[in-house]
Amino acid sequence: MKGRDNVVWLGSPTFPEAARTALADTQLRHNLRKATGTIRDKRLRVTAELDDWEQLREAGASLKRETLRHLDQHLLRLEESVTAAGGTVHWAHDADEANRIVTELVLATGQREVVKVKSMATQEIALNEALAAAGIEAYETDLAELIVQLADDRPSHILVPAIHRNRTEIREIFLRDMQRFGRPAPGNLTDSPADLAEAARLHLREKFLRAKVAVSGANFAAADTGTVVVVESEGNGRMCLTLPETLITVMGIEKVLPAFSDLEVFLQLLPRSSTGERMNPYTSMWTGVTEGDGPQDFHLVLLDNGRTATLADTVGREALACIRCSACLNVCPVYERTGGHAYGSVYPGPIGAVLTPQLVGAEHAATLPFASTLCGACYDACPVKIDIPEILVHLRAQVVDAKRHRPSAELLAMKVAGRVLSSPRLLALGQRAGALGGRVLGRRGQIGRLPGPLHHWSASRDTPVPPQESTRAWWRRTR
């Protein structure tokens, strides 16, 4: 097994236990309800502006799927383009290897501190801890990451890791903890968001101005040109990507896109789905190194860490299409009530419930696939149409299978089917998945096929029957 990464926090309580604790925390529930409610409204407003939103989702989904189908070729092309543009590409099989590569690159510069742009991949591999063990300080520069780092807390949301904190708590953290990391917060700090943002600006300014090494993640990388993309809001990304001499980007292998022009789809889908804006304030794109502008030493670390194992699962692989927008978290009734920490992983919420067990093996996160009511809101919100409920049902069967030590797929399928028929929610899922995939529940008397193989994966699959809206889908839509 892999060592000390953050995909699951060892020693965390299981989801049901953690959820019970979280449900009792009324402040937490209030913070979450307020934040997710705000973002849900904004997202609906800006997605409704585009009359071809469904076509964009379809394009995003098919692009991601087609890329994953030939992932090896796209990665090789990316490597070639980045190298030709003056960058260096590294491959990391697991978290330990990625951490070792980054640590050695930093040590080679002679520097002992790095500035970081928010990145799920480096969270996942626990890079900060690995750097600290080598005597290197890593400063998070994204506002929410800063809040989490100052408070020695854990992230609870993939886009806004401090979503569980309200403005009053953030003020207290700034006043108490900023001084330990550098410039203290102004003594007269109020809890107005503008004041808090100003305090973060002042605190991080000195770090940006002296930074020689930056570590970033990547939202996308275009294989044909070698262009790497970071989407952000605050300008901390631009600071990290522009001012230092050395830039090290850690990117999951599933982030590659075939072509620069494919960004035309994702630059429409991502901002509208994540922060509910027509466009996020800043997007940076760079191709290798540019003389006289920005870092002259660029390293791209391509990270596997469980992704190829996920890719091997014909149903679960769909989760690799995720662009980390966080829309599924914001619409999830379970997430809204329990918060992110209950999932015990850097990847919380619906996407975490399907990604975490796959990255670490279902036996290490056995309760996560059950952390859902299968209401389908996540699927409806997902800009790349990942059928999260379908994957959840599939993973549940795996967990049951592992527990009973009875590897009979047939038997399991029957058990799942039995549960489906006895549970109105599962039945709803079955009807919806059936309508979408053209694999109507019980159409051939084969209830056991549910949830079915990934219906849109194979190139040679039949054209799906146009969906007919089930009563339950209608109910959800008009509620």
Partner 1 sequence: MVEANPLNSRERVLSDIRAALSDVSDASAPVQRGYARSHAGQDIAGLFASRVADYQATVVRATLAELPGAIAQALEGRRVIVPPGFPPEWLPDGDWPADEPPLTVAELDAADGVISTAAVAIAVTGTIVLDAGPGQGRRALTLLPDYHLCVVRAGQIAGDVPEALERLDPVRPLTFISGPSATSDIELDRVEGVHGPRTLHVIIVNDL
Is 256 strand, coil or helix?
A: strand
> If binding is defined by CB under 8 A, does position 45 make contact with partner 1?
no
Count of alpha carbons within 13 Å of 216, Cβ hemisphere only?
31
Separation of alpha carbons 472 and 474, rounded Å = 5
From the CB of 298, what's the least distance to partner 1, in Å? 11
> If binding is defined by CB under 8 A, does position 220 make contact with partner 1?
no
Separation of alpha carbons 215 and 247, rounded Å = 6
- CA-CA distances (angstroms) from residue 10 to 7, 13, 179, 344? 9, 9, 30, 8
> If binding is defined by CB under 8 A, does position 370 make contact with partner 1?
no
The site that binds partner 1 (CB under 8 A) totals a number of residues, namely 105
Query: Which pair of structure tokens corresponds to residue 347?
Result: 């990847």
Q: Hey, which residues between 119 and 148 contact partner 1 (CB under 8 A)?
A: 141-144, 147
Separation of alpha carbons 324 and 318, rounded Å = 13
> If binding is defined by CB under 8 A, does position 109 make contact with partner 1?
no
What single-letter DSSP state applies at residue 185?
A: P
Beta carbon nearer to ligand SF4, 145 or 254: 254
Separation of alpha carbons 5 and 364, rounded Å = 13
From the CB of 335, what's the least distance to ligand SF4, in Å? 10
Q: Report which of 141, 281, 131, 288 is spatially closest to residue 209, judged by C-alpha positions.
A: 141
What residues make contact with ligand SF4 under the rule CB under 6 A? 322-328, 351, 381-384, 386
> C-alpha 53: how far from its chain's center?
21
Which helix (H) or strand (E) is 71 found in, with range?
helix 71-84
Residue 421, binding choice from ligand SF4, partner 1, none, Cβ under 5 to 8 Å by partner class: none
Query: Which pair of structure tokens corresponds to residue 282?
Result: 């800043």
Q: Hey, which residues between 409 and 468 contact partner 1 (CB under 8 A)?
A: 457-460
Q: What are phi and psi of 396, to 5 degrees?
A: -60, -40
Beta carbon nearer to partner 1, 272 or 472: 272
From the CB of 409, what's the least distance to partner 1, in Å? 15
Please give the radius of gyration of the chain, using alpha carbons only, rounded to the nearest integer.
22
Beta carbon nearer to partner 1, 121 or 222: 222
Residue 384, binding choice from ligand SF4, partner 1, none, Cβ under 5 to 8 Å by partner class: ligand SF4
Residues composing the chain: 479
> If binding is defined by CB under 8 A, does position 167 make contact with partner 1?
yes
From the CB of 388, what's the least distance to ligand SF4, in Å? 6
From the CB of 12, what's the least distance to ligand SF4, in Å? 21
Q: Hey, which residues between 240 and 269 contact partner 1 (CB under 8 A)?
A: 242-243, 253, 260-261, 263-265, 267-268
> If binding is defined by CB under 8 A, does position 402 make contact with partner 1?
no
From the CB of 9, what's the least distance to partner 1, in Å? 22
Name residues whose C-beta falls within 8 Å of residue 197's C-beta, 6 or more positions apart in sequence.
Answer: 143, 234
> If binding is defined by CB under 8 A, does position 10 make contact with partner 1?
no
- CA-CA distances (angstroms) from residue 228 to 250, 259, 441? 11, 11, 43
From the CB of 451, what's the least distance to ligand SF4, in Å? 17
From the CB of 421, what's the least distance to partner 1, in Å? 29
Paired residues of 214 in beta bridges: 115, 247
> If binding is defined by CB under 8 A, does position 223 make contact with partner 1?
no
Q: What are phi and psi of 284, to 5 degrees?
A: -110, 140
> If binding is defined by CB under 8 A, does position 63 make contact with partner 1?
yes
Beta carbon nearer to partner 1, 121 or 302: 302
Paired residues of 279 in beta bridges: none
Beta carbon nearer to ligand SF4, 170 or 381: 381
From the CB of 261, what's the least distance to partner 1, in Å? 6
Sole binder of partner 1 in the list 59, 126, 189, 365 (CB under 8 A): 59
Beta carbon nearer to ligand SF4, 127 or 351: 351
Query: Per the omega criterion (within 30 degrees of 0), is the bond before 451 cis?
Result: yes
> If binding is defined by CB under 8 A, does position 93 make contact with partner 1?
yes
> If binding is defined by CB under 8 A, does position 56 make contact with partner 1?
yes
The residue with tokens 């850690």 is: 250
